[in-house]
Structure 1
Amino acid sequence: MPRRVARHAAPLGDGRVVWLFGDTRRAPSHGATMVLNSMLISTRGCFAQVLTGGAVIPDPGVAGERLAAWPTCVISLDRGRWSELFVCTNTIRRHGGFWGFTLLGTSVTRFVVPDGGAARRLETVALSADDDALDHVTWGTASVADDGWIVVYGTRAPTGGFGREVYVARTRPEDIENMARRQYRGATGWGTRRQMTPGTRLGPCET
């Protein structure tokens, strides 16, 4: 079994479970020996690796930019004979030593998984533009499917303060790539991005 750092899991419509991982070491026979994200599908204790020759979600950008996609959350929707997956990833830029990186933005990648079959990646769209400022909203901290909506949570480090502010946005699955149709939670309900306001601020020792 490859050595992995578990990230997230979600049930599929056929009873299997999909697992998303961050940095993953693999045997040389499986292609790249180190990839920045990977996927397993399990059923009754049997695990099958989704093999693509590299990361299951390719590195964003162009060669030489040292960009990578780290999974943050996954939603699975049962579509009858297949499941639809939405995987949120943070785009990061590596720099300095092994642990050096800058968080830039968030994307979501859509997969289809036929019942009993393997996952197939369809498309990747941006949830936010890349921004290396420290006070931008980091979307994809968590997500949930709710009454036909995909609800995505984000956090932001306030300028000159401690803790993280919590933000909430939602979209219909079919509109995931359409930023203009996303709704944001404000003080009086759902509205445009300009009406977005933070919810609870989580301090360093709060949960």
Structure 2
Amino acid sequence: MKKTVFFFGICLVCIITLFGCASRSKALVVTEVLEHKGSMWGVAQPKWVDVVMATPNQKTLTKELGIDKHIWVLARSGENLDFLQTWVDQVDARAEIAASIKQVVIDTVNASLESESKETVEKALERYSDRGAIITIAGLNKETEWWTRTRSRFDQESDYEIKYNYLVIYSLDEELYQKQIETAFKDLGDEETTIKIIERLNEMTEIRVKN
């Protein structure tokens, strides 16, 4: 494929980026898009991609995509585009989302009960985790996908990091999703923790898939 370099002026000055930069101690100076899925045909990059690369959340993404559903973004990066495209075709989105839901439940329970005894926290984790497993994400739909090839520099002295980034959008009927999470966590006794879990699950948008 002809390698034409496109610089779209997407400069993200941030501490944490979408594709796994949270673990780095250095701040990201600049990220440039070198090419993307539409480059070969002269097709502009969709605005929703810019939204994901900046500050993705349910409100901004649903507005940009024009989808009145709950949205998840599965994101993965790597050096091999063919490998990432194979991943897109084979990924078990339901399993990835379910794993993220489980992690949200664990993190929220630990944070809510940090002042409680270890035994109390362990019992709550077991109780909430069992309920979280009830959420099946039935009715999930793949909406769209996009890839970019970017280069990033973490400070003025470091080398550029060049990689492909793949984004896949999945959606679920909002009413169905609400019903699933509310049914899963009702009648557990700790209303405050339950409310926090539901709030976080409603906000959950971005899912980073490990390489």
Could you say which TM-score interval applies, normalised by the shorter chain? under 0.3
Q: Select the structure of larger CA radius of gyration.
A: 2
In the superposition, the TM-score normalised over structure 2's length comes to 0.25
In the superposition, the TM-score normalised over structure 1's length comes to 0.26
More strand by share: 1
More helix by share: 2
Answer 1 or 2: higher relative contact order, Cα 8 Å, separation at least 6: 2
